[in-house]
Chain A
């Protein structure tokens, strides 16, 4: 089966950089996605890595190492609005149609 591990909570200071890790076990792996979810809101897509390396989108970067079954999300120049939960999700083969399996999420707390 599939499983993903994420730290439950991370605290960081406004303006700083934070890294949130994700390790996974799955079969038929296609790629690793990251989603942001504010309290009471819906998850929104941040990034996707299918190949090893770093993908950058503005203040957000995501990294993947397929050989280590590991990825991370990096947020730079933290702002108070970045306080949210961040979920990694594995795209894998399930019954002939690929789906997403989510981790339990990391709650990011930003302190002024």
Chain B
């Protein structure tokens, strides 16, 4: 199993550009989520999904969209990038009834 994979690993965007961060998992996990991590901060939940076709907002959803058309994939879209969105983004997944969450390697995004 590859676990949770994320692409790209690094990305630089200009203010106002849009892009999609990809996340995929091959463990058949129902629950998937996106976090951002800023220096000196913990992980803050952006959006999550409890299954295909179902998504909901987390703590810091503004400026981001998600969709979940399959169990495996959970892309995160930045609609119009802003410097405040410079961060490291982690995707994670787990079985709904279990507590152990698996994280992808992260995407380091810089918005200039």
B91 CB → nearest A CB, Å = 10
A91 touches B99 (CB 8 A): yes
Interface 9-residue window, one of A10-18, A71-79, A101-109: A101-109
Number of A-B contacts defined by CB within 8 Å = 52
B90 beta carbon closer than 8 Å to chain A: yes
* Chain A: number of interface residues, binned into ranges: 20 to 34
Smallest CB gap from B48: residue in A: A99
B99 to chain A, nearest CB (A): 4
CB pair B42–A87 under 8 Å, yes or no, is yes
B74 on the A face (CB < 8 A): no
Q: Which of B11-19, B20-28, B79-87, B101-109 contacts A (4 or more CB under 8 A)?
A: B101-109
Contacts of A99 in B (CB 8 A): 33, 45, 48, 58
Q: Are B43 and A87 in contact (CB under 8 A)?
A: yes
State how many residues of chain B have any CB contact under 8 Å with chain A.
25
CA distance A44 to B106 in the complex (A): 12
Which residues of B13-62 are within 8 A (CB) of A?
31, 33, 35, 40-45, 48, 50, 56-59
B90 touching A43, Cβ below 8 Å: yes
Complex alpha-carbon distance, A42 and B56, angstroms: 23
- Residues on A with C-beta less than 8 A from B104 are 42
A-B contact pairs, 23 of them (CB 8 A): A8-B40, A31-B99, A33-B101, A35-B101, A42-B103, A42-B104, A42-B105, A43-B103, A45-B100, A45-B101, A45-B102, A87-B42, A94-B58, A97-B56, A97-B96, A99-B33, A99-B48, A100-B33, A100-B101, A101-B59, A102-B44, A104-B42, A105-B42
Mark A residues whose CB is within 8 Å of B.
4, 8, 30-31, 33, 35, 41-45, 48, 50, 87, 91, 94-95, 97, 99-105
Residues in chain B within 8 A of chain A (CB atoms): 31, 33, 35, 40-45, 48, 50, 56-59, 90, 96, 99-106
